[in-house]
Amino acid sequence: MKEAPEMNLSELLINAFFQIRTFLSLRDSKLNITSEIFVNGERIFPPKNIRVENHYLPNQYNYKINIKHNAVKFSLYTSRDLKAFESAYVNSLLKNIESAFVQKEGFDVEDEFVLMISKLVEARSEETGEHVNRVSEIAKFLAQLSGHSSRDVKLIHGAAALHDIGKVGIPDYILNKPAKLDDKEFAIMKEHTLIGFELLRNSSLKIFQTGAVIALEHHERWDGTGYPYGLEGEQITLESRIVQIADVFEALTQDRCYRPAWPLEKAIEYMNDMKGKQFDPWLIELFNKHLREFVQIVQDKQDEEAN
């Protein structure tokens, strides 16, 4: 992996708009939305050489924040009134960016932004809870064991939180169905891999680029029977293979709306049964060698949530 670039305020704000636009558009495909972003009175988006025509959109929303002595004005223009929860989401996202940028520098701010974005999925699903955090921690440890550099471990830890971001485009009745999905519903659910990729792929931020690939590939299988493209073996990126193991192990050991948590022994047996089928055999060997630590990660995160 190449070294991740240092976070830039302008880039962060522009990426925030694209995340907002995609999220709102997925909820309402007929919504038109544009933006103007100013830092210290100077327009950074759209670029100054582009003429802006927002007059055809009847609703304007202005959000003002200060980030490290920089006065930011974030204007949205929409074809309809934003609903209360939509406006609250935008406000919360920008306020969290403000707090994160004040408290942290560089790559850590990217991590903070990623966690904020990943909470979109948790807010829509009744059972995920702290799923994102647990998957990220498991993926981090497995990335360390597989020989990644400390910087790449940190990148995978952050990008893993985005693996299910495409679920923002999946209907609530499918996400929270308390029973097995039928064939039609499962076909719709599988689209979350492609939606997640489209959400993230055009970002210039390394963490989103990595997250895009993970979102796309984390349901591929080592034997080539996964989705969306039926990739097999090392055609699947190592980062995606790592996150897949983290995602499945975490999911099996937690309650879901359609089934209770599996006993730990049964979950471990499944992981090994799927060695060379669903999972990279080498990564499962690492998983087995450090099984106590992986179990402890899940239990520690559960204890944190209980407190």
Residue 207's CATH number: 1.10.3210.10
- Segment 121-131 shows an average pLDDT of 60
* Structure tokens given for 159: 């990008």
Q: Both 169 and 220 in a single domain?
A: yes
Q: Both 89 and 226 in a single domain?
A: no
Active site residues: 167
Q: How big is the chain, counted in residues? A: 307
Q: Both 133 and 256 in a single domain?
A: yes
Chain center to CA of 72? 25
Can you tell me the distance from the alpha carbon of 188 to that of 61, in angstroms, rounded to the nearest whole number? Answer: 33
Domain finish residue from 103, 132, 162: 103
Segment 264-283, tens digit of pLDDT: 999 999 999 999 999 999 99
Q: Both 144 and 179 in a single domain?
A: yes
* Structure tokens given for 214: 């993970």
Alpha helix (H) ranges present in the chain? Answer: 9-27, 84-103, 106-124, 131-145, 150-160, 172-175, 183-190, 192-200, 206-217, 238-252, 264-273, 281-289, 291-306
Residue 263 has pLDDT above 80, yes or no: yes
Domain finish residue from 68, 103, 138: 103
User: Does residue 160 fall inside a structural domain?
Assistant: yes
Segment 153-204, tens digit of pLDDT: 999 998 998 899 888 778 888 888 888 999 999 999 999 999 888 878 877 6
Question: What count of other Cβ atoms lies within 10 Å of the Cβ of residue 185?
Answer: 16
Q: Both 151 and 249 in a single domain?
A: yes
User: Does residue 110 fall inside a structural domain?
Assistant: no
Count: domains in the chain? 2
Q: Both 167 and 258 in a single domain?
A: yes
**From 46-50, 237-241, 285-289, 291-295, the region with the lowest mean pLDDT:** 46-50
User: Does residue 200 fall inside a structural domain?
Assistant: yes
Q: Both 78 and 138 in a single domain?
A: no
Domain finish residue from 69, 103, 137: 103
The residue behind tokens 């999911």 is: 251
Q: Both 159 and 41 in a single domain?
A: no
Domain encompassing residue 29: 1-103
Question: What count of other Cβ atoms lies within 10 Å of the Cβ of residue 42?
Answer: 9
What single letter denotes the amino acid at residue 227? Y
